A and B are shown apart, each in its own frame.
Chain A
Amino acid sequence: MSAVSAAVDDPETGRGPEPCSELRSAGLALRSVSASIGGRDLFINLNLSVGPGEIATVMGPSGAGKSALLSHICGVGDPDFSFGGSVALNGHDVGALPASQRRIGVLFQDALLFPHLSVGENIAFGLPTGLGRDERNARIAAALADAGLTGMGGRDPATLSGGQKARAALMRTLLAEPKAVLLDEPFSKLDAALRDKFRRFVFDHVRERALPTLLVTHDPADAAAAAGPVVELAPP
């Protein structure tokens, strides 16, 4: 693992909290975030800051609260979990905002393209309102081309291959113009050859747009490729 610039207080070893001195205002910052479920602590005092274009990784076994953490950050939290601490994006606390106003995009383990919309309509779902029709169409066409899906805008998402679906899902997320991106194990269900390719595709895009990015994964290879700060969550 290349760089460890963040730490989490491990409730088992009792390691003390590491004060986070350099909290940049640009990017995504977690300050003393803690999570518990049913009164049982999953982790406490998690501090992490992710700069623009940086890809931080959260690792840990199943049940450590990785996905719950992402849900909490983007604002679609499961009511079973309770969280403490604060989440700030570019210096503003987003805790009080509804998910729809946080501008934090998410890529899930499955592509989750909406089954009732065409591929193009899926990609257009996140486009900001107020664009002219030509502008909308141009952005959709560009995104389709970028994802290697030129001419497939009218297709049923169910007819795409796994890799095509994954790329379309990323395009959908990026066209919503997020200010940060969360990746919830989006590579884990792809087969090995596809995984490396898609990982590079995602990482290139978020770096190119200078998006602070937080990746949750089981796979050390993902963390190595991300080349950003790594946080290990303790087993539950």
Chain B
Amino acid sequence: MALCVFLGPVVAGLAGSILPSFGYFPALGGEAFSLAPWRALAAYPGLGAAAWFSFWTGLAATLLSLAAALIFTAAWRGTVWFKAFQRLVSPLLSVPHSAVALGMVFLLAPSGWAMRAVSPSLTGFERPPDLATAPDPFGIVYVACLVVKETPFLFLMILAALNQIPDSPLSASARTMGYRRTIAWLKAVAPLVLRQIRLPVLAVLAYSVSVVDVALILTPVTRPTLGVLVLRWFNDPDLATQFVAAAGACLQIGVVLAAGLVWKLGELGAGRLFRRWIASGDRSRGENGLRVGGFALASLVGVLGGFGLVVAALWSVAQRWRFPDVLPSAWSLRFWDRHAEALLQAAGVTLTVAAVAAALSVLLALACLENEKRRGLKPGNGALWLLYTPLLTPQIAFLFGAQVLLVTIGLDGAWVAVIWFHMLFVGPYVFLSLSGPYRKLDPRYRAAAVTLGATETQAFFRVVLPVLLRPVLVAAAVGVAVSVGQYLPTVFAGAGRFETLTTEAVALSAGGDRRLVAMLALSQSVLPFLGFLAAIMIPAWLYRDRRELSGFR
């Protein structure tokens, strides 16, 4: 049942993209199979460049994120800096991709804060230079933004994997053999960790190769990614272009698969080198470089991610801020006032969708977990792959087809549709967040309850749920954060009629009112943050007299 809800649209969506790509789309008069769409696609100038751009930026972003997260963990695990980064990273994880991208624009654009900080003292610029810094044609800022967003995710995945790996005895025993800290961890623990986080890494790869909202913000109009091109074709008023769009969506799947294949091959090659490195017995060579490098990468992630939003906050209250002033010369809150109505309206839509999608996802996850528990099912690797399916499939590739499904059943542009499509992405994250604490709960609490005369259902509501209140609320907050950040699902399922903070921010990012964009990006980031705050404060207050559950020990 839950499977149908989640996989139905993915499968239907893929079919709905593949069939039209071969010219079959009865609603638009395409009733015979042909290769015409593919020929039109191939003839499009710049297609190869766009596909190649998507391909290499996705791979680079994934590799850099993984390296940053892994090396930082190896070099600094167990130190104060590690804990500090952990604290910094969790809020960054909840900031939507598009908000991070906008923050990078505020920071790195030709008139951005970074340029102001060094102008005119170093550069001599009295006015914003005519340089393409962000968005830049080389994709550097674009990759940097993906790294800023994905490093925290992989970092947390590594931490989760470390819950199941006895890493401190392993690296300690390597250290007693003379290996320095970082080398010891990389050689003794990293291989085990990498095996555990294979799926999350693939999800990051698929996402990075096919992301659309970040690309809309951080790549120049003349230098689109494949995903951006496909979106343009979908939005083209000429209906014949739909066939090309479908073919493009299929090509996007191909690019993701190709990237996955290259990743896999790289994994094999790197594994061989790694094994040779382990066998070499090198104990300290590279240690210092790795420590410094890991620290530098992690701080860069934190600074780029956090500071961009600080600059956005400055812009939202800047009445006059001339280049190259580092700070505004006049401040005012009236822009918030002026845009309050629009902001509140978008925030209302965003929050409604997010709250319902998160709540339903939590209910569904609890039902699945409870069912699994009562039937004594042991979910294997297959179930995990199914769970990851919506995260491993390029959004743009199946959303078009899934929209056709919605039109067929008359749901396009309805609240139900938007919430359902958000749940495709909210659901897996909520489940992943909740399943750990749920399965770890001592089964004897439940046994104690039922042997005291409570039925299974009473035991669930009177013991399991209250004890797990905090993880349940955290999972809901994760769901809200994921939903707030969704761009494409909102656009497609909402048939363009739903204006959330994210769709507005992306739509206005190019050439819109800078202050309004700043406010949108901030609001986007604040909503998930408030969700996490509530998820921590509610149990802390309810259980203020219950030491084990308040979350503060």
Contacts and interface: CB of A to CB of B under 8 A. Distances in A.
Contact of A116 (B447, B458, B466): B466
A105 B451 contact: yes
Contact of A100 (B442, B455, B463, B547): B455
A30 B309 CA distance: 68
A176 interface: yes
Contacts of B161: none
Contacts of A103: 453
Given A114-B463, A116-B549, A159-B547, A108 B452 contact: no
Nearest to A67: B444
B451 to A, nearest CB: 5
Given A79-B376, A100-B455, A110-B444, A115 B467 contact: yes
Contacts of A110: 444
Contact of B456 (A79, A98, A118, A176): A98
Interface stretch (A69-77, A199-207, A215-223): A69-77
A49 to B, nearest CB: 21
Contact of A125 (B452, B467, B545): B452
B543 to A, nearest CB: 7
A115 B456 contact: no
Interface residues of B, number: 28
Interface residues of A, number: 33
Interface string A65-87: 00000010011101110000000
B61 to A, nearest CB: 43
B232 interface: no
What is the predominant secondary structure among interface residues of chain A facing chain B? loop
Interface string B441-457: 01111111111111110
Contact of A74 (B451, B454, B455, B547): B451
A158 B543 CA distance: 12
A38 to B, nearest CB: 13
Given A112-B442, A116-B467, A76 B453 contact: no
28 contacts: A71-B447, A74-B451, A75-B450, A76-B446, A76-B447, A76-B450, A79-B376, A98-B456, A99-B450, A99-B451, A100-B455, A105-B452, A106-B447, A108-B447, A114-B448, A116-B463, A116-B467, A118-B545, A125-B452, A125-B454, A128-B453, A158-B546, A158-B547, A158-B548, A172-B452, A173-B452, A176-B452, A176-B453
Interface of A: 71, 74-76, 78-80, 98-106, 108, 110, 112, 114-116, 118, 125-126, 128, 156, 158-159, 172-173, 176, 178
Given A156-B545, A159-B547, 12 more contacts: A74-B447, A75-B450, A98-B455, A100-B456, A102-B451, A106-B451, A108-B448, A114-B463, A116-B467, A158-B546, A173-B452, A176-B451
